[in-house]
Amino acid sequence: MRLHPDLAPHRPGILHAVLSAFGGCTLAALWQGTGDTPDAELFALGFKKVAGQPLLARHSTWGGKWDDANPAGRDVDFAATPDHERWMNTKDDRDQVPPEDETQARN
């Protein structure tokens, strides 16, 4: 996920809204150390480390410290500008998908 740095103070609330959008029994998983979100924020949102894997997972019913501190969510007051749009449309190294490891492809 790519969020403009100006949204960093609102990142937990935005992630919470996205993770809660589907309600019910949904599971989110992501590779640990990818993206701009610090692990501490992810853990506060209810993500847990998957044993023996570089994966984090969050079930919609788990909740976390962020949920406890913000039971009604949090408002985000942000107006995007043309500079924000240009930043979003600029590709960088985070947009590159690493080539598939040939040994994994054969398994």
Total domains in the chain come to 1
Residue 101 lies in a domain: no
**Main-chain phi, psi angles of 57, to 5 degrees:** -135, 150
Residue 49 lies in a domain: yes
Residue 104 lies in a domain: no
Q: What is the pLDDT of residues 16-75, one digit of tens each?
A: 888 888 877 888 898 888 777 888 888 988 899 999 999 999 988 877 888 778 877 778
Name the residue range of residue 13's domain: 5-92
pLDDT at 1 (0 to 100) = 63
- Write the CA distances from 53 to 32, 33, 40, integer angstroms: 9, 12, 18
Rounded distance between C-alpha atoms, residue 6 and residue 57, angstroms: 26
pLDDT at residue 98 greater than cutoff 60: no
Residue 98 lies in a domain: no
Confidence grade of residue 102 (pLDDT, cut at 50, 70, 90): very low
Residue 67 lies in a domain: yes
